[in-house]
Each structure stands twice: as C-alpha cells, then as structure tokens.
C-alpha cells in the first residue's frame, strides 16, 4: 500500500456531517453522515445513543442507513458490538453540537 492509498483511505473515513444532542437522562443522541465506500456519492447515516460508562463512552443503540447515489434508502444490518477503546466524545457540557466537512 502506498502513501496515496493510505491518504485516500483516511479521507474516506472522515464524516461529512455530525450532529449531537444531549438527552434529558444525560445520554447523547448522535447522527453522523459518512461518504459511501464504493460510491462517494452514496452516504451512510448512523444514529447512535451513547453514554458515559465506567470504561469510557459506550454505544447503547445504533442504527445505520445506506442512501444510494440515486436516493434509495435501506437499513444496514446491526454490527456485532466490538470492544473499543474509550473515546473522548461527545464533548463536555454542550447540549448540542453540529459540524460539517
């Protein structure tokens, strides 16, 4: 794998938009829009509920939806939970946030 392949893979993993909102119970509801892997005009929408656990942030529930470049939507199968290292997200005391790339 050469440097340009690595850069393309890194760019492909960058989200297009991300929105989060703090729920009344302290959990966070998030929506992230990712570019499609095989079709850059397609998108994957992920909706997650995350909470701060004893080992860091954990995903309580997740739904992923694939949008084809011609606008058709389909529900993606559930991922099997993998143990992931704790991340520092969502950010601090913000009630909601959004970002675009």
According to the model, what pLDDT value does residue 3 have?
Answer: 47
* Residue 1: band (very low, low, confident or very high) from pLDDT cuts 50, 70, 90: very low
Residue whose token pair is 């084809």: 68
d(CA 78, CA 18): 20
Contact 16, 28 (CB under 8 A): no
**Paired strand residues for 39:** none
CB-based contacts of 12: which residues, under 8 Å, 6+ apart? 35, 37, 40
Cβ neighbours of 50 (radius 10 Å) = 19
Contact 3, 20 (CB under 8 A): no
pLDDT tens readout for residues 4-58: 444 455 554 799 999 999 999 999 999 999 999 899 899 999 999 999 989 999 9
């Amino acid at each position: 794998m050469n440097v340009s392949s690595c850069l393309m893979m890194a760019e492909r993993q960058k989200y297009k938009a991300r929105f989060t909102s703090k729920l009344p119970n302290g959990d966070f509801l998030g929506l992230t829009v990712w570019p499609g892997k095989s079709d850059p005009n397609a998108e994957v929408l992920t909706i997650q509920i995350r909470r701060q656990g004893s080992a860091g942030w954990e995903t309580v529930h997740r739904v992923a939806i694939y949008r084809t470049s011609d606008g058709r939507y389909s529900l993606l199968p559930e991922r099997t939970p993998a143990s992931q290292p704790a991340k520092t997200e969502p950010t601090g005391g913000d009630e909601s946030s959004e970002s675009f790339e």
